[in-house]
Chains A and B, each alone.
Chain A
């Protein structure tokens, strides 16, 4: 029994159709409980008031935005090395979800930042890094859309994902450098983890788990769709040949 068994589309479809309801249920349960707990049963922050509660969406979505790219990196590598179609399709399926998570993180950040910093947007290193991540998602998805042949598209996007990951890291550090250069010591700090008290921590953990499971649900769902589309394509090609 090796993990590569699940790279077989048929095995993957069987396992995922069995797992999907459970994962979906767990995702809904932990998301609902985490968000309801966080929104209604935690005290307001003494300084930030109730605006702090956006943390239960902002932090998990930001986390998943990065994790999604990491997952795409791994699946791209698996495709390039072992040529498992499911892996490439999973990367394709994950990209729009990751992009949405990035957008959610950016928007909730803006909504949070407005009352706190008095501005919707600041060229803070972390914000800028997320904006750049969004651009990377955009390019990756556009490349998938532009190439007709699915295997060619998988190869090209995988190479882009590998190179993009390196440049995303480079950008992250370049942005840190650049911002210091601009502001001479950033006045806006986003180091939330440091002052999250226990009362806030538990619902935060729950909603993080919820976002993770939600991501898993969507990826499984979309990968199944991609597999079906790919199979349809193969069948159609076969029809034309016959």
Chain B
């Protein structure tokens, strides 16, 4: 479903990680690990196509993917239902009932997003994934500000997604209890700062 080959990602013109290769098949989940600043977010954004890859290729499923970053893309003055309906329609879907139920938002459906707690907002942001109808999920720290019960809720949703033939690539420090989730430690892929004459920087031409 997702094939990453020899990918190199840059932030602010600097190469952070390079040589990342992995495959993600339907039903699989892969957890990215590594210390802060190693480039987990950068890698996810590169795979999502938000920034160009410095090297390597990314093969995505033809219908695209669903990306969830640090921000949830919620509008404070819209209600939970309105927020969710909007994203469902952007992705060509219409049913949001399941997503509300799965993330335990039914009670809050008519509340404006500005009146939600941080954890509730996060749950709404994750419910957005369910209404995209995309098989591939890219998740950047999905469990931030979730309590224990909500994490379990989210883990259930991910399991259901995988069981339905979906796949998930996520950066997280919390063990979601996914049975056969693979782990990819990014530490070995940290870009060695390029010696003169190689790399993608502006100055290699001075070699």
Q: Indicate the size class of the contact surface on chain B.
A: 10 to 19
Selected contact of A10 from candidates B12, B194, B201, B205, CB within 8 Å: B205
Docked pose: A237 CA to B206 CA in angstroms: 16
Cβ of A9 and Cβ of B203 under 8 Å apart? yes
Contacts of B203 in A (CB 8 A): 9, 230-231, 234-235
Whole-angstrom distance between the Cβ of B182 and the nearest chain A Cβ: 29
Residue B13 contacts which of A10, A235, A237, A242 (CB distance < 8 angstroms)? A237
Q: B1-37 CB contact bits vs A (8 Å, 1 = yes)?
A: 0000000000011100000000000000000000000
> A151 is contacted by which of B13, B193, B205, B207 (Cβ under 8 Å)?
B13
User: A9 contacts B12, CB within 8 Å?
Assistant: no
Q: How far is the CA of A238 from the CA of B15 in the complex (A)?
A: 10
CB distance from B13 to the nearest CB of A (A): 6
Contact A9 B206 (CB under 8 A): yes
In the complex, what distance in Å separates the CA atom of A234 from the CA atom of B202? Answer: 7
A side interface size, CB within 8 A:
16
With A and B bound together, what is the CA distance between A151 and B14 in angstroms?
Answer: 12
The reply to whether A85 and B14 form a contact with Cβ atoms under 8 Å apart is: no
User: Restricting to A200-242, which residues have a CB under 8 Å from any CB of B?
Assistant: 230-231, 234-235, 237-238, 241-242
B39 to chain A, nearest CB (A): 12
The contact string, 1 if C-beta is below 8 Å from chain A, for chain B 171-199, is: 00000000000000000000001100000
Whether A193 is near chain B, meaning CB under 8 Å from some CB there, is no
Check if B193 sits within 8 Å of A231, measured CB to CB: no
- A231 and B14 in contact (CB under 8 A), knowing A241-B193, A242-B193? no
Is A150's CB within 8 Å of the partner chain B? Answer: yes
B206 touches A149 (CB 8 A): no
Q: How many angstroms between the C-alpha atoms of A237 and B203 in the bound complex? A: 12
- Which A residues lie at the B interface, using CB under 8 A? 8-11, 85, 149-151, 230-231, 234-235, 237-238, 241-242
Using a CB–CB cutoff of 8 Å, the interface residues on chain B facing chain A are 12-14, 193-194, 201-203, 205-207
